[in-house]
Amino acid sequence: MTTDRPLRELLCTLLRLFYAKDWVGGTGGGISGVRDDGMLLVAPTGVHKELVEPRDLFVVDPKTCGVVEPSENAALKPSECSPIFAAIVRARGAGSVVHSHALSTVLAADITTDDALPIRSLEMLKGIRGLANTDVHEVPLIDNTPREAELTGAVEAACRDRRFASAHAILVRDHGAYIWGADVWEAKRHAEVYHFLFEAVRLRKER
């Protein structure tokens, strides 16, 4: 399939950008994108994300989580967060999901033992689709699990929860965040905005 080449290249370019921002260091984190045919491109697991090339990606069916087209590199396996990427695509119609391992996501989640992190009084809230800067924006916050795929149930519950209808991110305590958008560029914008919001909330709290 030649038509997904630009999407593959864009995902790899963004992995290098996110690596430079310290969001996907130590081989953690990643990004996925939905093709025109509804199939999901995901990076391999356990690789240095800044070095991923277009041909390394897997094609996964978000309905079944099955691999429909393997990486050209037979030694690779698809990202362990593929089931979560797929769940968010199904539940929210996301066109792209970012998984961040940024330290700012962990420290923001530390602020509260509640199941949501409220964010308020920041113009940057407008950077999330549908929000006003006067909103109190509740980001769902779930507990970490020993295996990443075990997060899927809690991710699906957060996606269904009416309190979080406007959220485009889920924080995972001690772990990171899933951030999505209607397409790759909106996911990138949302990722930049949420990282700003998380850091702002933390630094305001510590004041």
Q: Which of residues 65-104 bind a second copy (CB under 8 A)?
A: 101, 103
Active site residue 123: yes
End-to-end CA distance of the chain: 53
Q: Candidates 53, 118, 121, 130: give the one binding a second copy (CB under 8 A).
A: 121
Contact between 149 and a second copy per CB under 8 A: no
Q: Decide whether 35 or 189 has the Cβ nearer to a second copy.
A: 189
Contact between 132 and a second copy per CB under 8 A: yes
Beta strands 169-172 and 176-181: pairing type?
antiparallel
Q: Which of residues 171-200 bind a second copy (CB under 8 A)?
A: 172, 174-176, 185, 188-190, 192-193, 196, 199-200
Task: Name the catalytic one among 50, 72, 123, 138.
Answer: 123
Q: Decide whether 8 or 99 has the Cβ nearer to a second copy.
A: 99
Q: Candidates 2, 3, 134, 162: give the one binding a second copy (CB under 8 A).
A: 134
CB of 63 to a second copy, least distance (A): 27
Give one DSSP letter per residue of the chain, joined into a string.
--TTHHHHHHHHHHHHHHHHTTSSGGG--EEEEE-TTS-EEEPBSSS-GGG--GGG-EEE-TTT--EEE--SSTT--B-TTHHHHHHHHHHH--SEEEEE--HHHHHHHTT-SSSEEEE-S-GGGGGSTT--TT--EEEEEE---SSGGGGHHHHHHHHH-GGGTT--EEEETTTEEEEEESSHHHHHHHHHHHHHHHHHHHHHHH-
CB of 119 to a second copy, least distance (A): 11
Find, among 89, 12, 17, the residue nearest to 47 by Cα: 12
Residues 16-55, one symbol each (x = binds a second copy by CB under 8 A, - = not), give ---------xxxx-------------------x-------
Contact between 138 and a second copy per CB under 8 A: no
Question: Which residues are tagged catalytic?
Answer: 123
User: In the complex, which residues of this chain contact a second copy (CB under 8 A)?
Assistant: 25-28, 48, 101, 103, 106-107, 110, 121-124, 126-127, 132-134, 144, 146, 172, 174-176, 185, 188-190, 192-193, 196, 199-200, 203-204, 206-207
